[in-house]
Chains A and B, each alone.
Chain A
Amino acid sequence: MLKQFQSGGTGQLQDRNEGPVMAFHEFYQDDFRPREHYLPMWEHIQIAGQQMLGTKARDAHLALHNEGVTFTVYSDADEGIERVWPFDILPRVIPAGEWNQIEAGIKQRIRALNLFLKDLYHGQRILKDGVVPPELIYRGKDFRREIMDISPPHDIYTHISGVDLIRDEGGRYLVLEDNLRTPSGVSYMIENRIIERRILPEFFARYRVRRVEHYPDLLLQALRHLSPRGAESAVIVVLTPGIFNSAYFEHTFLAKEMGVELAEGRDLVCKNDKIYLKTTLGLRQVDVIYRRVDDDFLDPLVFRADSTLGVAGVINAWRAGNVALANAPGAGIADDKAVYAYVPDIIRYYLGEAPILASVPTYQMTDPQDRTYVLDNMQKMVIKAVAESGGYGMLMGPSSSATQRAEFARKIEENPRNYIAQPVVQISRHLCYLDGELESRHLDLRPFAIFGSEIEVVPGGLTRVAMTKGSLVVNSSQGGGSKDTWVLAD
């Protein structure tokens, strides 16, 4: 049980939400005193009082609104609705020691997953050796046999990844998902930091926080590294599906910050296996495409023929080595939720090392025993469609209705390869300042890694918060909010 959070003199600050008993609290220790790395913040709040937080929260919302930091929520019935990015002003603080382990774990994972992708699309040694079942790969929606035997520049497939981490009841960091296709959220990580610096400079004065704002520079450097015509003269574009995409804000943000063109499919053309940008001065050859268009829509000559979002011929140009694509097509099979269960084996197989970061136990619905167990215990499980992301196609057992469970049971029986299940982890909680009160909410962490000449994990990430009391769903697309994430220098 959480002890009340007492303020210095006002008596108004309190944590009213006690939440599930088991979840790890980021802010409090077991004896209900703030953890050491939160003490400076706690002291400051005690001195300043609750009114200060209220003013700061309003300022933050106004700043995000004025700067147009928004995101789009989709629902089945409605068109996308644009909302101001929900931001909680109390930052999450990660001590240097904790971060070192996260960083090393993510680097290890990305190194192994890249070797895995290279192997899958070439010699398939890991399948021949029976470490990963070939059926799992060949039934995977995101395995792209169309790109077999193509070697991307420097054998890098996952140039940008966002690895979702949670903390279990004991505070141990676990990998929940690898996002290796076109992970989004990095612009919000940076915007959160910019706002936080402006709103709460007094907090920063008490900590040595590592920078995240240089992410666009790191990304630009990594993209240049891929250029077939050399880094110096590299022409880079960000390829967006357009304004109706939920992450369009991020596409414009990154293009602007890197100082490169933002292009839609119709702005590019393939000629003799080279990609060109149409400009008022004529065609300009493009070396690197940071594409935020899904594989399916990337090239109508190879993938979906009805796609108008991509560039006809881009896969041929990529195969010929005349253009680099980040991330590489086909990378999605490595973040397939059914493949996820094999990542510890994949790390051991390619690197000969024990995984640094643990995973959440995963039940394969293709396994009859696992399936029976899950169908009998759906209320205790999170069930996920393997190729979906953003919290879509998911059943949260504890909060589900009997009708929803019956629907998922039917879907699992129809297509077992399409689903996995995991026991519900009471993910960690943190204090949030919501509607004038301090409350605890569950959260996760998505750090971003860039694979250029080496792998860099930006010290920070997007902390996503489940804004609804007791909810474990943090996805922005499902109404989640966010916090600035501070990694301490020492």
Chain B
Amino acid sequence: MKYHIEQACRIRFASAAREHHVQIRLAPWDDESQSLIRIMLAVEPEVLAVAGYDGFGNLAHHFAVLGAHRELRFSMVAEVETKRENPFDFPQVPPARELAWIADSLRQAPRLWDFVLHQGVLTPALPERIAGLAVPGLRDGVPLFQQVRDAFDWIAEIAEFDPAAETSVTALPALFDAKRGTAADLAHLLIALMRQWRIPARFVSGYLDASYFDPDDEDPPGTEPRPQTLHHWVEVLIPGGGWRGFDPSLRLLADATYLRVAIGRDARDIQALRQTCRGDGEQPELEQTLNVSRL
């Protein structure tokens, strides 16, 4: 499927800022599961934006406005073709050989260890029980792919996806108390579980097909679609299939309607917008719009 993406952002300061450096990770990936056809970035005030790959292979852009300014805008336009129509189309590895397959992958690509070992505030070691529920262990004889999907049920019992929640990232224990969380929060919980199983799992941010933001059947007629936002899900290294996307918020497998932008150990690795500036230190005001449309 082909998509057209328009992302715009306006950063406003209450008083003038200087030496304002911005790094963004908003460009879609270009790999076997999707092709980046074109991308354009415009910044106002007009400055040079430089593209480069970060340590995880994400395409990041950075630019700086050095003089005093109160407002900075940038917009990105991109076209992408996604190819993973069927998330199930991979050669199955018998369950008894799956862990050996994972061990072999780790041997051949030691970089995968980052996605097994990393634990932090967002993806901590899990206790034996969460909210009264036992944390599931890895079962023998059941395909990993199936076990990850089963984990959706366990996550849903702990916390519900709240599309209206602030997109700020919170630590997992806070999620257990709140029982509601953002897509990033639920993704972190799934990652923490996978790492407990010593299965490589990574955090993904990306765009969704616009239809996911349409009103539900329960909404009154004439309800407007929800504003589109960056979405977050998880990729798990599946024996025989490689990285496969699992979305614990929408309880879906990532297919051609999921557009991958950045991958990392957790959300902190791949903040969509990172900026520093000199000025009076007040937090700038941020306005963002996103429009993903199918071509």
Task: Using CB atoms and an 8 Å cutoff, list the residues of chain A in contact with chain B.
Answer: 124, 127-128, 130, 134-135, 137-139, 144-149, 266, 269-273, 300-301, 305, 312-313, 316, 319-320
Residues of chain B with a CB closer than 8 A to A271's CB:
64, 66
Residues of chain B with a CB closer than 8 A to A149's CB:
53, 55
Residues of chain A with a CB closer than 8 A to B50's CB:
272-273, 316, 320
Residues of chain A with a CB closer than 8 A to B64's CB:
270-271, 312-313
- The 20 listed contacts between A and B (C-beta, < 8 Å) are A130-B107, A134-B106, A134-B110, A134-B113, A137-B113, A138-B117, A138-B118, A144-B55, A146-B54, A148-B55, A270-B21, A270-B64, A271-B66, A272-B48, A272-B50, A273-B50, A312-B64, A313-B62, A320-B50, A320-B52
A-B complex: 5 closest residue pairs judged by Cβ atoms? A127-B110, A312-B21, A138-B113, A148-B55, A134-B110
A486 CA to B278 CA in the complex, in Å? 49
Residues of chain A with a CB closer than 8 A to B56's CB:
145, 148
| B106-133 near A? 1/0 per residue, CB < 8 Å | 1110110110011000000000000000
Q: B52 contacts A319, CB within 8 Å?
A: yes
Residues of chain B with a CB closer than 8 A to A270's CB:
21, 64
Q: A269 contacts B66, CB within 8 Å?
A: yes
Extra pairs beyond A124-B110, A146-B54, A305-B276 (4, CB < 8 Å): A137-B113, A138-B118, A269-B19, A312-B64
Q: How far is the CB of B166 from chain A (nearest CB, A)?
A: 19
A147 CA to B50 CA in the complex, in Å? 17
Give A319's nearest chain B residue, CB to CB.
B52
A272 CA to B64 CA in the complex, in Å? 8
A148 CA to B114 CA in the complex, in Å? 12
Residue B111 contacts which of A124, A266, A269, A272 (CB distance < 8 angstroms)?
Answer: A124
Tell me, yes or no, whether B23 is within 8 Å of chain A by CB: yes
| B258-295 near A? 1/0 per residue, CB < 8 Å | 00000000000000001110100000000000000000
Residue A146 contacts which of B48, B55, B66, B118 (CB distance < 8 angstroms)?
Answer: B55
Q: A145 contacts B114, CB within 8 Å?
A: yes
Q: How far is the CB of B272 from chain A (nearest CB, A)?
A: 13
Q: How far is the CB of B172 from chain A (nearest CB, A)?
A: 19
Residues of chain A with a CB closer than 8 A to B114's CB:
138, 145
Residues of chain A with a CB closer than 8 A to B117's CB:
135, 138-139
A319 CA to B23 CA in the complex, in Å? 14
Residues of chain A with a CB closer than 8 A to B111's CB:
124, 145, 148
| B177-188 near A? 1/0 per residue, CB < 8 Å | 000000000000
Q: B276 contacts A312, CB within 8 Å?
A: yes
Q: B19 contacts A316, CB within 8 Å?
A: no
A442 CA to B52 CA in the complex, in Å? 51
Q: How far is the CB of A366 from chain B (nearest CB, A)?
A: 12
Q: How many A-B residue pairs have CB under 8 A?
A: 66
Give A143's nearest chain B residue, CB to CB.
B114
Q: Which residues of B from 51 to 70 have beta carbons under 8 Å from A?
A: 52-56, 62, 64, 66
Give B22's nearest chain A residue, CB to CB.
A301
Residues of chain A with a CB closer than 8 A to B106's CB:
134
A137 CA to B106 CA in the complex, in Å? 13
Assess A313 versus B21: contact at CB under 8 Å? Given A138-B117, A146-B55.
Answer: yes
Give A145's nearest chain B residue, CB to CB.
B55
A127 CA to B113 CA in the complex, in Å? 11
Q: B110 contacts A301, CB within 8 Å?
A: no
Q: A135 contacts B276, CB within 8 Å?
A: no
A205 CA to B56 CA in the complex, in Å? 60
A124 CA to B110 CA in the complex, in Å? 7
Residue B108 contacts which of A128, A145, A148 (CB distance < 8 angstroms)?
Answer: A128
Q: B274 contacts A301, CB within 8 Å?
A: yes
Among B21, B106, B111: residue with most chain A CB under 10 A? B21
Q: A316 contacts B110, CB within 8 Å?
A: no
Q: B48 contacts A305, CB within 8 Å?
A: no
Assess A301 versus B23: contact at CB under 8 Å? Given A128-B107, A145-B114.
Answer: yes
Q: How far is the CB of A68 from chain B (nearest CB, A)?
A: 32
Give A138's nearest chain B residue, CB to CB.
B113
Residues of chain A with a CB closer than 8 A to B276's CB:
300-301, 305, 312
Assess A305 versus B274: contact at CB under 8 Å? Given A146-B55, A271-B66.
Answer: yes
Q: How far is the CB of B25 from chain A (nearest CB, A)?
A: 11
Give A316's nearest chain B residue, CB to CB.
B62
Q: How far is the CB of A430 from chain B (nearest CB, A)?
A: 44
Q: How far is the CB of A445 from chain B (nearest CB, A)?
A: 35
Give A276's nearest chain B residue, CB to CB.
B66
Residues of chain A with a CB closer than 8 A to B19's CB:
269, 312
Give B18's nearest chain A residue, CB to CB.
A269
A124 CA to B111 CA in the complex, in Å? 8
Residues of chain B with a CB closer than 8 A to A272's CB:
48, 50
Q: How far is the CB of A304 from chain B (nearest CB, A)?
A: 11
A124 CA to B66 CA in the complex, in Å? 39
Residues of chain B with a CB closer than 8 A to A135's CB:
113, 117
A301 CA to B276 CA in the complex, in Å? 7
Residues of chain A with a CB closer than 8 A to B52's CB:
316, 319-320
Give B277's nearest chain A residue, CB to CB.
A312
Give A301's nearest chain B residue, CB to CB.
B23
A456 CA to B54 CA in the complex, in Å? 34
Q: How far is the CB of B48 from chain A (nearest CB, A)?
A: 5
A145 CA to B52 CA in the complex, in Å? 15
A149 CA to B276 CA in the complex, in Å? 25
Q: How far is the CB of B184 from chain A (nearest CB, A)?
A: 17
A134 CA to B117 CA in the complex, in Å? 10
Residues of chain B with a CB closer than 8 A to A266's CB:
278
Residues of chain A with a CB closer than 8 A to B278's CB:
266
A124 CA to B113 CA in the complex, in Å? 12
Residues of chain A with a CB closer than 8 A to B110's CB:
124, 127-128, 134, 137-138
Give A150's nearest chain B residue, CB to CB.
B55
Residues of chain B with a CB closer than 8 A to A313's CB:
21, 62, 64
A138 CA to B53 CA in the complex, in Å? 20
Give B47's nearest chain A residue, CB to CB.
A272
Give A307's nearest chain B residue, CB to CB.
B276
A269 CA to B66 CA in the complex, in Å? 9
Q: How far is the CB of A253 from chain B (nearest CB, A)?
A: 29
A158 CA to B56 CA in the complex, in Å? 24
A312 CA to B48 CA in the complex, in Å? 16
Q: Which residues of B from 72 to 121 have beta carbons under 8 Å from A?
A: 106-108, 110-111, 113-114, 117-118
A317 CA to B55 CA in the complex, in Å? 15
Among B54, B55, B56, B118: residue with most chain A CB under 10 A? B55
A355 CA to B74 CA in the complex, in Å? 55
Residues of chain B with a CB closer than 8 A to A147's CB:
55
Give A130's nearest chain B residue, CB to CB.
B107
